[in-house]
Structures are given as structure tokens and as C-alpha cells.
Amino acid sequence: MYSNVPGVTAPGGGAAAESGWGPVVRRPVAWIVALVLFAEAFGIAALQWFLGMVVDNQRMSLAGLDPDVMSLSSKIGGVAFGLYFALCGLIALLVAVRDRTPAGLGRVLLISAAVVHGVLGAFTWGLVGWHAFLFMMVVMGLVVLLLMTYDGQQRPASGKPQDGTDGDPVGDSPVSPPPAPTTP
């Protein structure tokens, strides 16, 4: 098995062939991502709830909107966003406990969390400052690192390559396809 991530897997696949930084940082990065996403889930939900209370207490209105609707929508948005980050944290926690690559919906949610942090980082640069931007980029980097360190572990269920060979890298060329058969 070949991987485009340096050090994650070597030719031939297998756990004995792994070397480099991938196996060393997989689980700690997954644990850190899970903790950060859980803390962020609580923080975003608490911030949005607080902002909803401020709008409600001061009876603020934006362009004639009802303050009660604004307050309620802020609280609902905070809870929904907090649950989204908590679900992403749960997926990272499962990855850390199982030491297996996220698959299916879990992988999609982690990719979307990285994209959300990139977009929020772009907004926070101008609205909040470079400290918030740095935090968003660190979280995005951790999520991407989590996805990349587990990327090279995908193997067929049988343990043998799907092309019918025995997995011996000698003589196999990962760059060029086998020659096409010719007819006389």
C-alpha cells in the first residue's frame, strides 16, 4: 500500500511496515481534537445563549425585528451549533478510543468542521482580531492533521490488495499501469 502522507504507511501496508510520525501522533491528536471540540461546543453554546439574554434584557431590535424572536433564534442557533461541535468532538473521541480512521458520515462531519473553522477564521480576522484567527487556524489544523494521519490506514478487509497480487512491492510500479495485452 502506498500513501501520499510521509511516514504513515510503507510499501506493503501492514502494521509492521509503519514508520515515521503517523503512528506516534494519531491517538494524542484525536484526543486533543475531541477535547478542543467539546470545549468549543460548550463555549459557542454559552456565548450564543448569553447574547440572546442580552438582546432580551435590553429589548434590542435590528431593523424592526421582534426582540423576542431575535433572542430565541440566538439561543436556538447556539444550541444547534454547540450540538454540531459536540457531535464532531464525539466522532474525534471515537477515533481516539478505537484508533481507527473515521468513515462515512463521521469523516464528512470532521471535514465540514475543518471548513467551518477556516471560514470562521477568515471572519474573525477582521471582526475580532488575530488571536481569534490564530485559534481557529490551530483547531482547523488539528482537525486536518487528525484526518491526514489516519488517511493511510485504509486497507481492503481481506488484507490483500484488490488487484489480485500478493502485495509484494517488488516489481510493482505505483506510477504506471500494467501493459495492455496485444492481439496477434
C-alpha–C-alpha distance, residues 71 and 58, integer Å? 11
**Residue 100 one-letter amino acid:** R
C-alpha–C-alpha distance, residues 44 and 59, integer Å? 22
Q: So what's the pLDDT on residue 6?
A: 52
- Render 96-110 in DSSP notation, one character per residue: HHHTS---THHHHHH
Q: Are 77 and 45 in contact (CB under 8 A)?
A: no
Q: Are 74 and 108 in contact (CB under 8 A)?
A: no
Query: In the chain, where do the E strands start and end?
Result: none
Q: Are 20 and 6 in contact (CB under 8 A)?
A: yes
C-alpha–C-alpha distance, residues 72 and 86, integer Å? 21
CA neighbor of 9 nearest in space, from 174, 141, 164, 140: 174
Q: So what's the pLDDT on residue 4?
A: 52
Q: Are 85 and 37 in contact (CB under 8 A)?
A: yes
Residue 144 grid coordinates:
486536518
Q: So what's the pLDDT on residue 46?
A: 96
Each residue's pLDDT expressed in tens, for the chain with a length of 184 residues: 444 555 544 444 444 344 466 667 888 999 999 999 999 999 999 999 999 999 888 877 778 888 888 889 999 999 999 999 999 999 999 999 988 888 889 999 999 999 999 999 999 998 999 999 999 999 999 999 999 887 765 554 455 555 555 555 555 545 667 777 888 7
Exposure pattern of 138-166 as b/e (b: 16+ CB <10 Å)? ebbebbbbbbebbbbbebeeeeebeeeee
Residue 1 grid coordinates:
500500500
